[in-house]
Amino acid sequence: MTQKEFNDVVVSQTERCKSLLTAKGSEYAPKAAKGTSADRLAHFKKAAVVMNSTPKSALMGMLSKHLISVSDMCTDDKSFPKEQWDEKITDSINYLLILRAIVEEETHEED
């Protein structure tokens, strides 16, 4: 793979991640009260309450499912369609990006 081909893969993947994250934003952030912004991380915070854990831990549980699926695909001898790879890889990356947002929010709360 050439450097240009690699760069094209990276650009394409990051665009796919961004598109999905922004499209899902309204689905996963509950409507906010008038004059306030919706909390994009609300579902992870609610999952943490249900699991008696933290938003990071709740996210890790959800991410684990995706990583196990990717691992199974990598170690299976059968071939998978590109669309399935795209879905699993994008979901995994997006959970890490959401984790980054949770860490950022927690860091700001500590300051």
- 27 Cβ contact partners less than 8 Å away, ≥ 6 residues apart: none
The reported pLDDT for the residue numbered 109 is 79
The reported pLDDT for the residue numbered 32 is 60
Q: Would the pLDDT of 89 be above 70?
A: yes
Taking alpha carbons only, the member of 26, 28, 16, 22 closest to residue 93 is 16
pTM of the model: 0.85
